[in-house]
Amino acid sequence: MRFSAFAVLLAVSTAAGAAPELTTGPIKMKPSEIKAYNASLTKEHPNYIRCRRERETGSLVKGKMTCRTNQEWARIEGIGNDSAREAVEGLQKGWSNGQN
């Protein structure tokens, strides 16, 4: 049972980490356009665009830049946290009922 519980937790955390791909907005903007857009905004503003480098698993150098607004990053983080919380609560219920 420990293995299957770990597999469920791993599957949920992997699914939560995979954010939906954007087809419009910051993802299509060039770095110079993002810089010009952000010039009039504070870093805490919900529409401020932040870019993160996402490394490819198994590679030290290969990666992809992902740009989203602060509001989008917060939404994605919330989805991941909710999914992880649901997985842990589900596992705790099973363990407290004496299931193996």
pLDDT in tens, 52-89: 998 888 888 888 889 999 999 999 999 999 999 998 98
- 28 lies in which domain range? 2-96
Dump strand ranges (E) for the chain.
49-55, 63-69
Of 14-18, 37-41, 60-64, 66-70, give the lowest mean pLDDT range: 14-18
| Residue 96 pLDDT class (50, 70, 90 cuts) | low
Q: What is the pLDDT of residue 25?
A: 75
Indicate the pTM of the whole model. Answer: 0.60
Tally of structural domains, the chain: 1
- Tell whether the torsion through CA atoms of 4, 9, 10 and 16 is positive or negative: positive
